[in-house]
Structures are given as structure tokens and as C-alpha cells.
Structure 1
Amino acid sequence: MDRLDSLCPPAGYPRQFVLLCFLILTATFLMYPVLKPLSLQLQASVTGSYVSGTHSVVFVNCPNEQIARDIARAILDKKLAASVNILPKASSLYFWQGEIEETTEILLLIKTKTSKIPGLSRYIRLVHPFETPEVFSLPMDQGDVHYLKWLEEGMKEN
């Protein structure tokens, strides 16, 4: 029986152990939003792999080519994106104030880091002539590693 007693923890041990486990699990749960991106970045740097969703393509419609060029140049100057494609003459049909509108717009395809999208959206709302500019994004799932590194380099601050 002495041998069996030596294998059992002291009387207060289980309660302390349960409390410690609860605290560790709670801290892990609360820190998950912070820890996940950090662990993915660490994995990517160690393995050389791409973390899906690190970069995004943002779509913005503009009323004409000059405004599109001005916005594209400004967001590149501010390092909010690494590349912008200007696609001419997109036909747009949409509801506005209860009516169906039809117009020709210029589409910007903006390639950026997903983390820069909130700042990019705020800036576009400031400079865009539309009352409610179209700004939405899609995360990049895959991509050429060399291109994605080039994107990173294009957004580095001097």
C-alpha cells in the first residue's frame, strides 16, 4: 500500500492542477487572435511557404480614368499597395437611392497586404468622389513566391 500512496499526488494537488490548466486554457483562448498570425508568420519564415490570406486584391470603381490614376498613384506613394491595375470601361448597373443606375466606370485592382486594407479603405473614402465608393477585397489564397516577395518589397517604408 505504501507504494501506491507514493504514486498519488498530495491532497491539494488536483485542485491546483485544475486551476492551473484552466488559467492556461483561458490565456491561450484569449491570446489566440494574436498568436495565430504570429505562428503562421514564423512557420512561413522557417519553411519558406506562403501564408494564405497575407495579401489581398482590393476592388475600387472610379468615375473616370483621371480619378482612377490619381487614386492609384496616391496609394502607391503612401505605400498602401504595391501594384494597381487600371481596367477601363467597366459597365456598371446598380441600385442608387431606389433607382437602377447604369454607367461606365474604371476598375482599380489593388494588390496589397491584408493588414493594410483598413488604412487603404479609410484613405479611399477620403479622396474618392463617390458618396459611397465601392471598396472590397478578396484574400489571395496562393501565388508565385517571387511575385509575393516583390509585393512585400513594394510596400516597405523607406
Structure 2
Amino acid sequence: MDKLGSRCPLPSCPRPSALVCFLILAASFLTYPMLRNLTLQLHSTVTGSYVSGTHSIVFANCPNEQIARDIARALLDKKLAASVNILPKAASLYFWKGEIEEVTEILMLIKTKTAKVHLLSSYIRLLHPFEIPEVFSFPMDQGDGHFFKWLEEGVQEN
């Protein structure tokens, strides 16, 4: 009898199929970010200390200040962000449909929980006029504990 079959206590125990193994592996990879975020939140709550990566700063460009303000207010209303800075007149050069474009854009710096970045990004995509809005994030590594506590309170659902 092969090694896998010899480990099974029951003689009629079936061997796991490759599909079952693949599904288990895929589910592990897909749920890792969510489980990591939950573990970080639990650690922060239990120890009272800040865990690097619990919060993120999201960068997003907008074509003008009014659109940036509208998106910022919508994110704050939905509790997807605790704070948004709107920085005027960022020069942007990029390839678009085979051509080099040069425009002036407005940069938004959005502070939120890392666990909300995916939802925040999806919501920006719904509101944004660009076909492919520039939205990306970096986890916050270190900072003032009082700021992180305030940020946490700002994105909590009531």
C-alpha cells in the first residue's frame, strides 16, 4: 500500500483528489490577506500596541479639485477613510493608448485601515471619471500612537 493510504485509519478512506488539494491551496491564498488583517487587529486590541501595516495611505489622482473633494467627502461619509489630503497641481506624464500624455492632476492622500483598502479602491473606481483611475496604497510602518488611535476611530462603523 502507498504511503498516503497507509496513513488513513480506515481501509476504504479515499485519497484526496488533485482538485480538492488545489481548492484548499487556492482558498488559503485568497483568504490570507483577510486573515492577516484580522490577526493584526486582534493583536493591536489585546496588547494596546500598534502593529505595522494595520493602517495604510492610499494615493489617488483626480482630474480637478472639485472631483477630488467630491470623492473625499464620499469616502469620509462611508467611513472608508478617516482623513483625505488634497494636494493641488501634480504634473503627470504617462503612456495612454500608445501616446505620451502630459496633464495636471490633483493628488489625494487617503488615510484608512489596511483592511478597507480594497473596498475603498472599488468605491473610488465607481465615482472616478477616469477609465482606469490611479489608486494604490502603502502600509503605514510607524507613527504617533495617538494618530493611529484617532484614525481607527474615524473609520469605525457605528
Question: What TM-score results when the alignment is normalised by the length of structure 1?
Answer: 0.75
1:61 aligned onto 2:68: no
CA distance in 2, matches of 1:37, 1:90: 32
Give the letter for the 2:54 counterpart. Answer: T
CA distance in 1, matches of 2:132, 2:151: 28
CA distance in 1, matches of 2:116, 2:35: 19
Aligned to 1:44: 44
**Unpaired segments ≥5 residues, structure 1:** 1-14, 17-29
CA distance in 2, matches of 1:37, 1:122: 18
CA radius of gyration, larger in: 1
For the aligned residues, what is the CA RMSD? Answer: 2.2
Residues 37, 114 of structure 2: 8 Å contact kept: no
Aligned to 2:80: 80
Structure 1 position 69, deviation (Å): 0.4
Structure 1 position 91, deviation (Å): 0.4
1:147 aligned onto 2:142: no
Runs of 4+ in 1 over 4 A off after TM superposition: 34-39
The correspondence of residues 1-158 of structure 1 with structure 2, limited to 5 A, is 33=32, 36-158=36-158
CA distance in 2, matches of 1:60, 1:92: 12
Q: For each residue in 1:18-67, what CA deviation from the matched residue of structure 2 results, as whole angstroms up to 9, or x when unmatched?
A: xxxxxxxxxxxx6x947654444343233321111110000000000000
CA distance in 2, matches of 1:79, 1:38: 18
Report how many residues are paired: 132
**Unpaired segments ≥5 residues, structure 2:** 1-6, 9-27
